[in-house]
A and B are shown apart, each in its own frame.
Chain A
């Protein structure tokens, strides 16, 4: 039911939003709430279509996803209205993507989400998003090709595509897995397949970037873990080697690149890439019982904070023309509420406690220690301490520097405020209460 509601709302919304974005927003939010209700009742897709199963963890991820998308849709302005219907389609596709238990469906839905993401990056035009959009599209197309190659290879060796029944001990399975992962790493922006993301995230409209870097990445992370779990367990040594290597490479390189940047959106883009690196640690630690909780926690925490920072940046760019670090000097005087929320979410990204960013790292990295990878965890923790450098650098510009010119104090629009409060509530709730996620993953 949820799937049908979301797709129907996605088709319905374009009729309204040309004249009145408020009605479109209301429809979208209602659709998200209804979808969440049916997810709660256990009637999202599994009651209608085969190959879809929702366990507790998946449901939790779906609630978080729907809440985040509702927050994003509330925060949009008229100029960004095409995003509303795309988000509804994205929500529908993501629910299916998260719930599927069939590897074939996984590949198909991965492509569907990829196509939605190409539309997201391209359709709100500004002076320079063409470059990012083309890069995202070409990189994505290459990734799709690579994934299909791997999938073709894999389909020779297995009789069933149901996750639990797949045959992962075939002759070419390891190579097939590696090839598929190479494609998926493009989407997860793992170094060295990250080049497109730094441009795409920073150049497209920031609301679209919020969806692209926050929502889609979290969904892909979680669904990929579920789909590949059997592979990860079947080849323990390869898993540890591949994922540890890419985790270290990604976070280290992205953090150093972020330290160099002057443009805020680029800092956030590289921070997003670095977070992909941390999120690979539960993959490497698939042998640990905490790995599933780790990846779920990471996806949940990351979706709130990353979406929130990009949305705030979107507001600031629209109201104050903020692009570079110099533009946010003394921002706390001009936009006190934006500054406060931005700071809290940045602290969360940096992994300061009582915010979701900390506990998600704590659980995800514990999975690593539990699997015996404590050296990699130490490197990750030192990396996240290094990352504090650029997060605090942004905060330094906001609070410690004097503004260049005294402008008007800008207010936050009501929709934006509600959206931000939803995201803030998520960040704080999952920063203090770890029980929900641990309980949800216990049955895995």
Chain B
């Protein structure tokens, strides 16, 4: 019963919390924090329940409509658990980093509302319900970006909403055709029923996931949404929403229709490579600090697509590691970029400079996360990029080693950003800014830093999860 409750309870809880705490706004964040800790504990509990040899834990069937083959089937495997843990952890950290947000009752109730469908996306194996949760996550995000965002927030929020909604429609038609072909809405049953899926279905689905990931040329919503969103929400967008795309790609293409995916794997590779390099070059070009981080985020998601395109055990494990690594690495970058804008009132790195002297703590974490993004050994970024390169070379041949240059490009933009914004002569804007940081924010940044280094030195727990998740591909 717990399983279905944690999906639907947030809807009621958020309405309740909003109307009850409007008078006492400071309480809401504690309720939100408590709820997300509960979610994390439940996810952790499932982590311990995972069977050793992979496969699904069955959590229940609800709201059954047998005539239409439509029911809310909740099943989780190691891949979902990894995503659930990541989501819950990020939600907790997001509460910490938005400790002093305006209009707290509304803000935190929307966050609570968001936690329901996002858990649903990773927990259900019913395709139609997956789609319903997928779409529902957009609604709280629309308001979170549109109300709390920066100057151009309304444009960004609406663009984000419509763009991802339109591409989801292609995916939806793909789901329909899949159901028509097999007669099942449930993933595990569809997998048994189909051998070769028509190319059309594959492409329709790929479009839907590609826009979410995002893959070039469907990425244009991302720089707007991530830049205009408040930093904590950028963390959710980059850390969780983009992961939905990667998760969908693994679940619906590699796992569901391996034969068709094998046919189009090279297209996936091409899209991934173009995304990685294109976004990387754009990041070098940017003066805008948050846009630079946003493009770096796209570039890293391109690497994930390259890893998924290998369709091997090593590749998918590397993809899962990079997904988690990307979430933990890009989040402090977004947070500090947004925080710097908040304090200095400029977005442009060349107008900053000398921040190290006034805000050493934030600068140090920015540099650490930056180093992780460019793949410094001892951080998560290194493990992720190394495993991706190894697996890609194994599958696609030695020439794919060119993606090592992606690391070089990130070194370019990160080091240059650090040079321009963090070091260098102190600019007048930085001179008069007050760089105080609340304890909660400091704590959250410290947790990110610890996690980046911990999993960089000891990546085994995540690879254990990957081992369970992808054992069907012949793991070790």
Residue numbers of A with Cβ under 8 A of B are 290, 293, 347, 352-354, 358, 362-363, 365-366, 369-370, 374, 377-378, 381-382, 384-386, 388-389, 392-393, 395-396, 399-401, 432-435, 438-439, 442
The complex places the Cα of A400 from the Cα of B68 at a distance, in Å, of: 39
Residues of B near A433 (CB, < 8 A) are 63
Q: A353-B136, A435-B63 are in contact. Are A382 and B176 (CB under 8 A)?
A: no
Is B158 a contact partner of A353 (Cβ separation < 8 A)?
no
State the Cβ distance, A374 to closest chain B Cβ, in Å: 6
Residues of A near B139 (CB, < 8 A) are 347, 352
Is B67 a contact partner of A392 (Cβ separation < 8 A)?
no
- Other-chain contact of B179, A366, A386, A438 (Cβ < 8 Å): A366
Residues of A near B157 (CB, < 8 A) are 396, 400
Residues of B near A293 (CB, < 8 A) are 67-68
**16 A–B contact pairs at CB < 8 A?**
A354-B132, A366-B68, A366-B176, A374-B176, A377-B176, A378-B169, A381-B169, A385-B166, A392-B158, A396-B146, A396-B154, A400-B147, A400-B153, A401-B154, A434-B65, A434-B70
Residues of A near B131 (CB, < 8 A) are 353
Select from chain B the residue with minimum beta-carbon distance to A362: B128
**Chain B residues within 8 Å of chain A by Cβ, number:** 36
Is A396 a contact partner of B176 (Cβ separation < 8 A)?
no
State the Cβ distance, A357 to closest chain B Cβ, in Å: 11
The complex places the Cα of A385 from the Cα of B132 at a distance, in Å, of: 14
Residues of A near B172 (CB, < 8 A) are 381
- Other-chain contact of A385, B11, B133, B153, B169 (Cβ < 8 Å): B169
State the Cβ distance, B265 to closest chain A Cβ, in Å: 25
Interface centre among A365, A369, A386 (most CB of B within 10 A): A369
The dominant DSSP class at the A interface is helix
Select from chain B the residue with minimum beta-carbon distance to A363: B68
Further pairs besides A386-B166, A401-B154: 8, Cβ < 8 Å: A352-B138, A353-B135, A362-B128, A374-B173, A388-B162, A392-B158, A392-B161, A434-B65
Residues of A near B146 (CB, < 8 A) are 396, 399-400
State the Cβ distance, B288 to closest chain A Cβ, in Å: 23
State the Cβ distance, A288 to closest chain B Cβ, in Å: 10
Is B158 a contact partner of A399 (Cβ separation < 8 A)?
no
The complex places the Cα of A337 from the Cα of B132 at a distance, in Å, of: 25
Q: Taking the complex as formed, is B143 at the interface, i.e. its CB lies under 8 A from any CB of chain A?
A: yes
Residues of A near B63 (CB, < 8 A) are 432-435
The complex places the Cα of A139 from the Cα of B67 at a distance, in Å, of: 41
Is A365 a contact partner of B153 (Cβ separation < 8 A)?
no
Select from chain A the residue with minimum beta-carbon distance to B142: A392
State the Cβ distance, A329 to closest chain B Cβ, in Å: 12
State the Cβ distance, A284 to closest chain B Cβ, in Å: 15
State the Cβ distance, A244 to closest chain B Cβ, in Å: 15
The complex places the Cα of A432 from the Cα of B162 at a distance, in Å, of: 23
The complex places the Cα of A434 from the Cα of B136 at a distance, in Å, of: 17
Is B132 a contact partner of A353 (Cβ separation < 8 A)?
yes
Residues of B near A358 (CB, < 8 A) are 132, 135
Select from chain B the residue with minimum beta-carbon distance to A378: B173
State the Cβ distance, B224 to closest chain A Cβ, in Å: 15
The complex places the Cα of A399 from the Cα of B166 at a distance, in Å, of: 23
Select from chain A the residue with minimum beta-carbon distance to B163: A385
State the Cβ distance, A131 to closest chain B Cβ, in Å: 33
The complex places the Cα of A205 from the Cα of B158 at a distance, in Å, of: 31
Interface membership of chain B positions 437-454, coded 1 if the CB is closer than 8 angstroms to chain A and 0 otherwise: 000000000000000000
Select from chain A the residue with minimum beta-carbon distance to B132: A353
State the Cβ distance, B55 to closest chain A Cβ, in Å: 28
Residues of A near B136 (CB, < 8 A) are 352-354
Interface centre among A370, A385, A399 (most CB of B within 10 A): A385
The complex places the Cα of A362 from the Cα of B162 at a distance, in Å, of: 19
Residues of A near B138 (CB, < 8 A) are 352
Q: Taking the complex as formed, is B64 at the interface, i.e. its CB lies under 8 A from any CB of chain A?
A: yes
Interface centre among B11, B64, B176 (most CB of A within 10 A): B176
The complex places the Cα of A365 from the Cα of B177 at a distance, in Å, of: 11
Residues of B near A439 (CB, < 8 A) are 67
The complex places the Cα of A402 from the Cα of B320 at a distance, in Å, of: 43
Is B170 a contact partner of A378 (Cβ separation < 8 A)?
yes
The complex places the Cα of A396 from the Cα of B179 at a distance, in Å, of: 36
Is A396 a contact partner of B147 (Cβ separation < 8 A)?
no
The complex places the Cα of A371 from the Cα of B135 at a distance, in Å, of: 25
- Other-chain contact of A382, B147, B153, B166 (Cβ < 8 Å): B166
A-facing residues in B154-188 (Cβ within 8 Å): 154, 157-158, 161-162, 165-166, 168-170, 172-173, 176-177, 179-180
Residues of A near B165 (CB, < 8 A) are 385, 388
The complex places the Cα of A381 from the Cα of B172 at a distance, in Å, of: 9
Is B143 a contact partner of A399 (Cβ separation < 8 A)?
yes
The complex places the Cα of A293 from the Cα of B136 at a distance, in Å, of: 24
A-facing residues in B34-77 (Cβ within 8 Å): 63-65, 67-68, 70
Residues of A near B158 (CB, < 8 A) are 389, 392-393, 396
The complex places the Cα of A370 from the Cα of B69 at a distance, in Å, of: 14
The complex places the Cα of A435 from the Cα of B180 at a distance, in Å, of: 19
Is A352 a contact partner of B180 (Cβ separation < 8 A)?
no
- Other-chain contact of A369, B67, B133, B173 (Cβ < 8 Å): B173
The complex places the Cα of A84 from the Cα of B77 at a distance, in Å, of: 56
Select from chain B the residue with minimum beta-carbon distance to A434: B65
State the Cβ distance, A75 to closest chain B Cβ, in Å: 22
State the Cβ distance, A375 to closest chain B Cβ, in Å: 9
Residues of B near A347 (CB, < 8 A) are 139
The complex places the Cα of A381 from the Cα of B174 at a distance, in Å, of: 12
Is A374 a contact partner of B128 (Cβ separation < 8 A)?
no
6 closest Cβ contacts across the A-B interface?
A: A353-B132, A381-B169, A369-B176, A385-B166, A438-B67, A435-B65
The complex places the Cα of A385 from the Cα of B211 at a distance, in Å, of: 15
Select from chain B the residue with minimum beta-carbon distance to A385: B166
